[in-house]
Amino acid sequence: MNTIKTVFEKQKQLGYGCLVAYITAGDPTPERTPEIADALIRGGVDILELGLPFSDPIADGPTIQNASLRALKSGTTPKRVLEITGEIKAKHDIPLVIMTYYNPVFKYGTERFLAEAKAVGVDGFIVPDLPVEEAADYLEAAAKAELDTIFLASPATSRERLERIVAASSGFLYLVSRFGVTGAQTDVADATVELIRKVQPFTAGKVALAVGFGISRPEHVRRVVAAGADAAIVGSAFINIVAANQPDMLRELEEAASALKAATKT
């Protein structure tokens, strides 16, 4: 099985960084999400993040907020997200990560939700509003279910807290490249490169380093990988294609993923 750690190791041996793609499960409909996943994986995506739609996505900009709204209107529930994940995993040997705010997990029942997620093939979770200082119970449940826990670090994270986050993370560390919310940007700031170079020594030999927020073009991917990141995380660029919902959407997604993946060559 392609675990998250295995994929990072394999791509490194091949001379590539990893491409992590984020899409919102259920956008535009639950039935279309597996097709969208197929297109991205054909294009070369190494790890797929499925966003669990939530009514109050505080870390997300308008692009992902609107995707969540479309998914909720189409009837997407946490249970349906797990069903979608199972459909994708049945076809593809690729790590699948669910990104969710903690409230839906808590309401579902943390241990129950994680166990059911593991059963359908989920490999890890990102819970952006769960701070490492309050995550002991969650970490215990995730370890029991043999799921990776991917924490986030940001430009504001102190050295001491970064060390704690790295120690608690498995799969990869999600480095938020800038202040603010998610959303495609026109360029990668010099500050992002400096941030990667600052954080990379803390993760080296411990956990892979993936960079997200504002990464949307091949040149962005090339720059963050060259700076020392093990992966680039791309979300809004793919969701914008989904939102346009054109007849050639799947082809556009595959082509976009292919171009972004090619840019991970080291």
* Residue 214 domain-assigned (yes or no): yes
Please give the average per-residue pLDDT across 73-78, as a whole number: 96
Per-residue model confidence (pLDDT) at position 73? 95
Dist. CA 161–CA 248, nearest whole Å = 45
* Residue 104 domain-assigned (yes or no): yes
Out of 27, 49, 123, 254, pick the active-site residue.
49
Out of 46, 60, 123, 230, pick the active-site residue.
60
* Residue 205 domain-assigned (yes or no): yes
* Residue 266 domain-assigned (yes or no): no
Tell me the pLDDT tens digit for each residue of 217-262. 999 999 999 999 999 999 999 999 999 989 999 999 999 999 999 9
Q: Residue 69: what are its φ and ψ, rounded to 5°?
A: -65, -45
Please give the average per-residue pLDDT across 96-105, as a whole number: 96
* Residue 132 domain-assigned (yes or no): yes
- CATH code (residue 160): 3.20.20.70
Confidence of residue 57 (pLDDT cuts 50, 70, 90): low
The whole-model pTM stands at 0.94
* Residue 265 domain-assigned (yes or no): no
**CA-to-CA dists, residue 95 to 134, 148, 215, angstroms:** 26, 11, 20
Please give the average per-residue pLDDT across 159-178, as a whole number: 95
> What is the domain range of residue 18?
4-260
Considering its fold, how many domains does the chain have in total?
Answer: 1
* Residue 161 domain-assigned (yes or no): yes
Could you tell me if residue 152 is left (phi over 0), alpha (psi between -120 and 50 degrees) or otherwise beta? Answer: beta
60 is catalytic: yes
